[in-house]
Amino acid sequence: MDTIPQRIASLRAAMKNAGVDACLVPSSDPHISEYLPKRWQARQWLSGFTGSMGTLIVSADFAGVWADGRYWVQAEQELAGTGVELMKIDTAASSLHLQWLADTLKPGQTLAVDGDVLGLAAAKALQAALEPSGVALRTDIDLIDAIYPGRPALPAAAVYQHDAAYAPESRAAKLARVREAMRAAGAERHFISTLDDIAWLFNLRGADVSYNPVFIAHALVEAGSATLFVAPGKIDAALAAQLAADGVRVVDYAEAKPALSALPGGALLIDPRRVTLGLRQAVADGVKVIEAINPSTLMKSRKSAAEAEHVRRAMEQDGAALAEFFAWFEANVNQARITELTIDEEITAARARRPGFVSPSFGTIAGFNANGALPHYHATPEAHSEIKGDGLLLIDSGGQYLGGTTDITRVLAVGSPSAEQKRDFTLVLKGTLALSMAHFPRGTLSPMLDALARAPLWQHDIDFGHGTGHGVGYFLNVHEGPQSISRAVPEPHMAMQEGMITSIEPGVYRAGQWGVRIENLVLNVASEQNQFGDFLKFETLTLCPIDRRCIDHSLLTRPEIAWLNGYHAEVRARLLPLVDGAARDWLLANTETL
């Protein structure tokens, strides 16, 4: 079982024994998480493809991974020689794998997928695709468990209370708000599986998922009580007593399904995109199920004024750490040996020296020249580049602080950037600025803003294959919804509201040459109310200079230059009190007027 072909062969044997003709392995877990605990990284274990998104399908004579443009180069490298094909799709929302199944499987054949990790909405789409073809869907078996020796167990990290100094709204107040939303929807009960929703609602944090301070749990909220389903030993007696004081019982994680089966009737609110088919099927027959977005998903996306202020302080500490890091880098590049791995080590060490720092918010992406053209590139001890000579270094990194989550991308000139590299950099910068300066009516559906960042690139027949912006949590997941500045189909719950934090990160990626991405986090704030409506605008939260050596000044307009100068003046004013020595000198030099 040491090779991918052997693992695929073992799965095919298990399929044959179960009378199954094909098996679908999603990138998912019982909580519909983006980043998965090791126990549920089955698609990666089976195929060798390590991207965070992708769908594996295995039949008797075919194995393929459907992955979007962010991962094509990476997938081609990782799947080479495995017998697993790369099936290219435009976006993660693509349904081409469903069409392939409908076209390929014959009437009377059976497709298996573990219902405990298959999202309810995804299951409905799968059923709709297969039924006209006469293909049966089996969701009651986990074929992976039988063939995965030493499969990782559930994470065992302790759950802890989010420091009250950084949690402005109490657990009781949040539960009251959710209950009010339940009543408005006509539900007596609400079942929640998404880990960041649960962490937010109960003011708890954990360490069960790398880089995301969440813990494995389900929750059932009722009119006068709540139940938190967590593995034994993860919540100590003192914390359990605090939860009990707020009407929250702690029950074994394994009891979530039986609890749904034992519901006495009434109406249950669930989010079909944030609960699995297996859990939905466990709901007692006499229960009326109301399907709607989790109220907590909308609530946690709208940071309060107090939370926003904590985020501003976290951004200052993060910016100061970056100033220290970049000062070190500028002093040593092309002087001492620096690799992409060194970047990760040094940038994490700089953040770790800052108050309130907990961990990185995701694995640092440091890509020099051609590696920067891979949007989700990660250097490894076996495959990485030394940073020397001339070129562009792309660094995408972030930190988890008790008072907020950061995510920033900067591109640095190493040696002398070429005219073509400056052109790409400046066009990306223009895209970042176009969206950063936007004003828009409150309630604008976030995907509608995507074209603002792409337009400066489109004018030069350039585009990029990932979304322009994702929501960001409050000392929670670096990716959260419901807003998404992307090519997603707009839906009502994606409306932009005051208090939302979103990334702005357009890019250009020239395969085999270089990549450019410039990313800031922004906060939706009130702009103006007038006869035309109620408008919002963005406050840029990220505090770090943009490398002026990479800019082609001739491509910038006066308003763009004015915005950049104003931004650098604010970066200087807010970070200077937090740095000294070489970091102070670097900050002063890199925030001069353009």
Q: Does the pLDDT value for residue 566 go beyond 70?
A: yes
Q: Does the pLDDT value for residue 95 go beyond 90?
A: no
Res 585: pLDDT: 98
Q: Please name the amino acid found at residue 281.
A: Q
- Cα dist from 198 to 62, 277, 294, 296, 400, whole Å: 39, 19, 11, 8, 18
Q: Which of 294, 29, 69 is nearest to 151 (CA)?
A: 29
- What gap in Å lies between CA 508 and CA 463, rounded to an integer? 7
Length of the chain: 594
Characterize the bridge pairing of strands 63-68 and 85-89.
Answer: parallel
Q: Does the pLDDT value for residue 503 go beyond 60?
A: yes
- What gap in Å lies between CA 583 and CA 416, rounded to an integer? 22
Q: For residues 74 and 95, is the Cβ–Cβ distance under 8 A? A: no
Q: Does the pLDDT value for residue 474 go beyond 60?
A: yes
Q: What is the pLDDT of residues 136-163, one digit of tens each?
A: 999 999 999 989 988 999 999 999 999 9
- What gap in Å lies between CA 560 and CA 539, rounded to an integer? 16
Q: Does the pLDDT value for residue 564 go beyond 60?
A: yes
Using a pLDDT cut of 90, give the percent of the chain over it: 91
Q: Which of 456, 453, 427, 430 is nearest to 440 (CA)?
A: 453
Per residue, what are the HEC states of 456-476?
HHHCCCCCCCCCCEEECCCCC
Provide mean pLDDT across the span 16-42.
93
Count Cβ atoms within 10 A of the Cβ of residue 572 and give its class: 0-12 exposed, 13-18 middle, 19 or more buried: middle
Res 71: pLDDT: 81
Q: What is the pLDDT of residues 366-388, one digit of tens each?
A: 999 999 998 888 888 888 999 99
Q: Which of 91, 4, 1 is nearest to 450 (CA)?
A: 91
Find the angle CA(16)-CA(17)-CA(21) to the nearest 5 degrees: 30
Q: What is the pLDDT of residues 197-214, one digit of tens each?
A: 999 999 999 999 999 999
| Residue in the block written with tokens 């891979």 | 374
Q: What is the pLDDT of residues 535-551, one digit of tens each?
A: 999 999 999 999 999 99
Q: Residue 592 phi/psi, 5° resolution?
A: -70, 155
Q: Domains of the chain (ranges plus CATH)?
A: 4-147 (3.40.350.10), 160-300 (3.40.350.10), 302-590 (3.90.230.10)
Provide mean pLDDT across the span 404-425.
97
What integer best gives the mean pLDDT of the chain?
95
Q: For residues 159 and 238, is the Cβ–Cβ distance under 8 A? A: no
| Residue in the block written with tokens 């708890």 | 204
Res 2: pLDDT: 83
Q: What is the pLDDT of residues 257-305, one digit of tens each?
A: 999 999 999 999 999 999 999 999 999 999 999 999 999 999 999 999 9
Res 218: pLDDT: 98
Q: Which residues of 32-66 are buried (b: 16+ CB within 10 A; e: fewer)?
A: bbbbbbebbbbbbbbbbbbbbbbbbbbbeeebbbb
- What gap in Å lies between CA 126 and CA 160, rounded to an integer? 38
Res 246: pLDDT: 97
Strand partners, 455: none
Biggest CA pair distance of the chain: 73
- Provide the whole-model pTM: 0.93
Res 416: pLDDT: 93
Q: For residues 215 and 253, is the Cβ–Cβ distance under 8 A? A: no
Q: Strand ranges (DSSP E) for 321-419?
A: 357-360, 365-368, 391-397, 399-401, 404-405, 408-414
Q: For residues 214 and 196, is the Cβ–Cβ distance under 8 A? A: yes
What the block records as the tokens of 292 is 């709607």
Q: Does the pLDDT value for residue 1 go beyond 70?
A: no
Q: Residue 479 phi/psi, 5° resolution?
A: -115, 120
